Structure 1
Amino acid sequence: MASDTENTSIVGISSSWGWPIGGALGGALGAAAFGLLMWIFDPDVLASAIPAIYGLEPIGVVGWGIHIAHGIVLGLVFGFLVTRGPILGIVATSAETDALSRTGIAFRVVAAGFVFGLAIWAILPVLVLPVWVEAIGAQAAADFPAAAVESMLGHLLFGLVLGIVFAATIDLGDRPAQSPFEE
């Protein structure tokens, strides 16, 4: 069985400190794309609801700043997770199907970003946000469309942009994906 070090060297990101840069940049750009989508559907979410989650007044670009900061933190979490053995092993594993076996590691990282965006939507705005809003009693934050289709689409867009930027930023190598279970 291959070790975690061997798994990461398969895709060229072993001991690379590029993942925080790729994660932060991808998270910021993903949050900006998501923010633009939110602004199109309901600009008050960025202006009022996001600052209200923290008990802040909706002044200027506070909502945008908080939203971008959230994206950077989540991008760093994504970068950390996707470069670690368990998830990297899945991303780098040779697939048994013809369609998946033809995909490269970059495509799989983008797909991981998409799945990450979906997971973030299912966890943060759908499960955590309602509890948080009730705990702090913020009325403006209660108007946040947690389970709305727009929220889900925005989080999927965030994850997709995050995955694309991360894959473009990190040296993934030109080698095809290999099984982490090969000796």
Structure 2
Amino acid sequence: MASTARTPETTIVESTTTQSRWLGSIGDGILAGVAMGVVMAFAMPEMLDEAIPALYGQEGALVGVTAHLAHAAVFGLLFAAIVRFGNLSRYTDDVTTSTALGLAYGLVLWILAASVVMPAWLDAMNVAGAPAIPTFDTMSLLGHAVFGVVLGALYPYLKRY
């Protein structure tokens, strides 16, 4: 009978693999954020130039893009945590179902983060012309759908490493 006891070496390998997956989920979030950013740059450039920087009391596209990608990294990590701890890993074994899961996640982000939290945050920052709560913008829906699709499509590859 073979032993399956953990050794210090297997613990290090497992720890490194787990750490790589979490870091990879941040990278996947950033890549998905870049894809969403392209949609935003063409369909709603004011989000990157004005609205996102205003969340932090700032101005300008550089701040907007930087903050957007930071948000994307956090949301990529959150997706991985939901998949792992929400017992959803079985839905990420192939690209098709993982992409569908990512799309659903993007839609939830659109409803919660973009349509409720962001307008409330802008209002709390006393931004002139802050949108109503909730704000269900179709271009924002498109951007969040792209984010979710890319994030979901990348996730199965992350699981392999």
Same fold, judged at TM 0.5 (above): yes
Deviation string, structure 1 residues 54-97 (Cα, Å, up to 9, x no partner):
11122x511100000000000000011112253235x27xxxxx
Q: Look up the SS of the partner of 1:54 in the other structure.
A: coil
Matched, 1:114 2:116: no
SS in 2 for 1:61: helix
TM score, norm. by length of structure 1: 0.70
Hey, what does 1:126 align to over in structure 2? 115
CA distance, structure 2, for counterparts of residue 36 and residue 138 of structure 1:
25
The runs of at least 4 aligned residues of structure 1 exceeding 6 Å deviation read none
Aligned residues: 146
Structure 2 residue corresponding to 1:55, chosen from 54, 57, 76: 57
* Alignment counterpart, residue 34 of structure 1, candidates 36, 41, 44: 36
Distance, in Å, in 1 between the alignment partners of 2:117 and 2:47 is 17
User: Which structure exhibits the higher relative contact order, with contacts defined as CA atoms closer than 8 Å and separated by 6 or more residues?
Assistant: 1
Instruction: Report if aligned partners of 2:76, 2:151 keep a CA contact under 8 Å in 1.
Output: yes
Let me know the Cα RMSD of the aligned residues. 2.6
Q: Which residue of 1 is the match for residue 124 of structure 2?
A: 135
Residue 152 of structure 2 corresponds to residue 150 of structure 1: no
Question: Counterpart in 2 of 1:97?
Answer: none
Compute the TM-score of the two structures, normalised by the length of structure 2. 0.79
Structure 2 stretches lacking a partner, 5+ long: 1-13
| Cα separation, 2, equivalents of 1:57 and 1:140 | 15
1:19 aligns with 2:8: no
Structure 1 vs Structure 2: percent identity of aligned residues? Answer: 32
